[in-house]
């Protein structure tokens, strides 16, 4: 048995994939065996369900607002209201895979990101 695959499926369960767990906030623009391109939107006051992004990739920021990212148990992982780590519209940033998390838009503008996830 391939334990690498077993371990990976435990870390990245299919039911927590962004398109399964949070489809109302993610739209697939393109997907093939090498990449998946997502258009993600979180409107003011909205929260995404807990989900993952199992592949690293580039995120192009179209719109940004203050947000809180929480882990699966509700622990705060990032709060952009502290003035740190808040990207600006029109920038591209690298992101590693994102384990189980939710995002709450606590600002007054849409968060909109185009993600190009690089499948391994």
pLDDT at residue 13 is higher than 90: yes
d(CA 80, CA 14) in angstroms, rounded, equals: 28
**pTM for this entry:** 0.88
**pLDDT band, very low/low/confident/very high, at 28 (cuts 50, 70, 90):** very high
Q: What are the pLDDT digits (tens) for 78-107? A: 999 998 778 899 999 999 999 999 999 999
User: How far separated are the first and last CA of the chain, in Å rounded?
Assistant: 20
Say whether 80 sits in a helix, a strand or coil.
helix
- What are the tokens at 92? 């591209």
Domains and CATH numbers, the chain: 3-118 (2.60.120.10)
Angle in degrees, CA 42, 45, 47, rounded to 5: 55
Question: Could you read off the pLDDT of 33-58 as tens digits, one per residue?
Answer: 999 999 999 999 999 999 999 999 99
């Amino acid at each position: 048995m391939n334990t690498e695959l077993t371990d990976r499926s435990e870390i990245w369960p299919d039911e927590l994939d962004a398109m399964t767990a949070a489809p109302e906030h993610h739209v697939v623009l393109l997907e093939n065996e090498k990449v998946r391109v997502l258009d993600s939107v979180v409107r003011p006051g909205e929260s995404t369900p807990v989900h993952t992004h199992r592949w690293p990739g580039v995120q192009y920021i179209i719109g940004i607002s203050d947000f809180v990212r929480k882990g699966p148990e509700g622990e705060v992982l990032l709060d952009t209201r502290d003035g740190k780590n808040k990207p600006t519209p029109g920038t591209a940033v690298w992101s590693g895979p994102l384990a189980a998390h939710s995002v709450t838009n606590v600002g007054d503008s849409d968060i909109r990101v185009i993600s190009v996830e690089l499948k391994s």
